[in-house]
Structure 1
Amino acid sequence: MQCDYFDGGRCRSCTLMGMPYAAQLASKQERCAAALAEVAPSITWLPAVAGPESAFRNKAKLVVAGRTGAVTLGILDDSGRGVDLTECGLYEPGLARTFPVLAGFIDSLRLEPYDVPARRGQLKYLILTHSPDDELMIRFVLRTGHEIPRIRKALPRLVAALPRIAVVSVNLQPEHKAILEGDTEILLTDRSTLPMCVNDVVLGLRPNSFFQTNTAVAAALYRQAREWVEERSPDSVWDLYCGVGGFALHAAASGREVVGIEVAPDAVESARASASELRRQHPDVGPIRFTTADATAEPDAGLSSADLVIVNPPRRGIGSDLAGRLEESKVQEVIYSSCNVDSLARDLALMPSFSVREARLFDMFPQTDHHEVMVRLERT
């Protein structure tokens, strides 16, 4: 992939830009294999899963900068000034088409972009998500709620310009800190959920829900997990750090109990709605239950009855407490999806009763050294 922003030194976020894509994949595979070699010496690596090397991102997190009436959407340079990246080639076409429309909308309302060096202004970020059905979720991240009435009043005009808008919200982030969003979310539309159709499962994303940035590769990740689950054919599956239920709902089947644990209440509510829809389409599926709890601290009782556990933790991994409980449990198989192979290796070392049978690299982020690797563990 060639990028004028990278070549011109305006953006260096894609650290592997210019490297042939086959070489990128080989480098990531080598990195992950080396990290797991000591804790999983007999591991079998399946072929890496890759999607398009450009136009793959379903989500954009755009810094709003520039000046009132002439905003930039992109990133900040080293001095805290805006660098416009509206022609970046990483985004899905349906998402990229919205950038000039949104910039024009912001300019027409004369919303003041937040000036980081001066600590002045209102609009900090636009966070956008694009669905496979070409629908759109838009989040305006503001310092205060002062501009909400103007955005709300002008919203019909924005919907007329972008008819596929499903959800619009305002997030309030009042602090001068390098954090993307705050705790307060204010919906401006009747709809609160963006449906994401992944394989044969529809996941509902609310404004602050997490979902993988690469829809095509995420679909492959869920298919692989489902395949591993079906090979084992467990009676009970627990999905820890389940988010909106992607792994759990792909594991659902007739006669099988599926339980999801997630700390975010909105995500649990979305997962429950998706489970209801799945049951409507497939009345024979077994019981599906989602619970709001800390996956690291809460699931002891459930682990004693689970045949198979799926974990998809943040970068820090599952940690010693949960790894220890899995080690001491009667769970026979674990599927571990990780975005940090180093924390994965540390966690695997804490579970010596399990051996890694298979692993697979899923390249969610071409042009960078980020990786997603999923491993299948069996108790020995």
Structure 2
Amino acid sequence: MSTAATFAEADRLAAAGQLPAAAQQLETLLAQSPETGSEMAAHWLKLAGLRRAMRQPRRALDAVHRALELVPLDFMALVMRAGLLERLGDPGAGEAWGEAIAQKPDTALVPPLAAALAAGEAFYAAWQDEREQRLVLAGRDAAAGADEDQIWRMSRFRDNILRKTRVYHSQPTHFHYPGLVEREFHPRQTTPWLAELEAGFEDIRAEMLMLLKSGRAELEPYIQYEEREALDQWRPLNRNTDWSAIHLLKQGREVPENVAQAPRTMEILSRVPQPCVMGASPNAMFSLLAPHTAIPPHVGVDNTRLVCHLPLVVPDGCWFRVGAETRLWREGEAFAFDDTMEHEAMNPSDALRVVLIFDAWHPGLSSVEQQAVAAMIASEGGEG
């Protein structure tokens, strides 16, 4: 009798309600078969199902583990494993449900599997809540003596443990300086000059509005690449005025027509520690994002500088994500971020969003390092 026929006999026994005989038949066949792969994994899962139905959860779990040796990310096997661990009261059940949920397919699930998954998701959520409470309690004494930034880092550490946040890293397209702090949004104590920007908010916004109303501003698309370049993420916005800019400083040069109408803005920017790199920086602009326009996830050129935003006109709902942290722009509230970490933005409103954008040196660079960076990037012809 062929192997297929003998496996079919096990199925016939199971269909007839002869579960012990079917399980024994399957175990004998699996012990003798040299085959591997997804088909053999399916047989191990059938055996696991039989053992579970016979109220033998530990033997069922052994069979599931044999299946997972063959197909480690199989969703059905992971769900069965998590459910069995939960039934056994195993402390690893919560983590197992998390692993199963991570492999949930996009396609619709059959009702029994959907019900099992829904129960598993509820179990996982309760387990995560319990873990979070335990972690908060464990760090409570230390947090009592921490400053604002230390509390933020402790909180992010806790979220990383809970996998609420993904860990992002600096991934510049061109220039990576080693040893610099990787941080989505940099803390205020390392960017004290942001307060001066905020103090000048009304003047800066007034100059921006006058530029827009005058009709004399040089407005150009923010993204401008040759179509032949391999930059598919930018294709919808390339040379598109849905995301445009009024440049004040562009690759180290002033744009006279715009600068002449923004003297107070330029005065304030002159006190920011902007990089001065021949052919590359400083840069400063009013960035205009049209209604219902998305800026896709991307990374910047160079991790030796931070990119800074001073929101000037912000309709409700406009958001900005850097790495694992998402913020709403708020008029007059400036921030500095590392644009070499993945970031994206969205204006979901019916109105225009305007932000002043400029560069500043990464606070982790000494003056001698700034000098070296500027010289080397300039020797490469600028930033990208």
Do both share a fold (TM > 0.5)? no
Write 1 or 2 for the structure with the bigger share of strand: 1
Q: When the two structures are superposed, what TM-score results if normalisation uses the length of structure 1? A: 0.25
Write 1 or 2 for the structure with the bigger share of helix: 2
Point out which structure has higher relative CO (alpha carbons under 8 A, 6+ apart).
1
Q: Which has the larger radius of gyration?
A: 2
